[in-house]
């Protein structure tokens, strides 16, 4: 049987309702042609681009002049805490109070402060004077931790206060 004959047989075996009937005649009056629909979409895209072209859609920008950034309210606390640690380091002997000096250097680094430059040391503090200064510093750090607005900074300051209180020099004098 030739190939064309098989196609005729296959068509004859299909049920009669499976074929799509061709609709002839003009389209309904309310239907748009594909070409008209594409033209309308392109035209609306051009109009929308023209209208929104002058708009600033970035909520962070404004037409007013940029205001000066507000200073960090905790900056004074950070500066005071750095000064306190530098003052403690300046009066400690690096040989006699090595653990305390290392502790204060680590605490100063946590506050992103620079260690004080090596200078001629003043008279070394007595153990009782060291305890008084360290306890006063721990109280100041506790106060700063309670008054600052930034939670992360408050935790760092509280850890510094606890670190000072846990030093063996202070534990021996209790």
C-alpha radius of gyration, the chain, whole number: 41
Residues 6+ apart with CB under 8 A from 1: 9
- Say how far apart CA 2 and CA 58 lie, in whole Å: 71
Q: Please count the residues of the chain.
A: 174
pLDDT at residue 97 is higher than 90: no
Each residue of 155-169: pLDDT tens digit? 999 999 999 999 887
Q: Which two tokens stand for residue 151?
A: 């939670």
Return the higher-pLDDT residue of 116 and 119.
116
Predicted TM-score of the model (pTM): 0.58
Alpha-helical runs (H) found in the chain: 3-13, 34-52, 75-91, 98-110, 127-147, 151-165, 168-172
- Say how far apart CA 139 and CA 133 lie, in whole Å: 10
């Amino acid at each position: 049987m030739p190939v064309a004959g098989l196609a005729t047989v296959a068509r004859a075996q299909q049920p009669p309702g499976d074929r799509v009937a061709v609709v002839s005649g003009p389209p309904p009056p309310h239907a748009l042609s594909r070409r008209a629909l594409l033209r309308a979409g392109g035209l609306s895209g051009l109009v929308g681009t023209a209208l929104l072209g002058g708009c600033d859609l970035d909520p962070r920008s404004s037409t007013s002049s940029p205001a000066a950034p507000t200073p960090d309210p905790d900056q004074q606390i950070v500066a005071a805490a750095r000064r306190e640690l530098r003052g403690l380091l300046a009066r400690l002997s690096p040989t006699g109070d090595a653990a305390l000096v290392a502790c204060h250097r680590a605490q100063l680094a946590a506050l992103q402060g620079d260690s004080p430059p090596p200078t001629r040391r003043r008279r070394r503090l007595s153990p009782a004077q060291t305890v008084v200064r360290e306890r006063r510093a721990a109280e100041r750090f506790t106060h700063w931790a309670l008054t600052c607005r930034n939670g992360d900074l408050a935790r760092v300051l509280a850890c510094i206060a606890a670190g000072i209180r846990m030093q063996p020099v202070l534990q021996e004098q209790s």
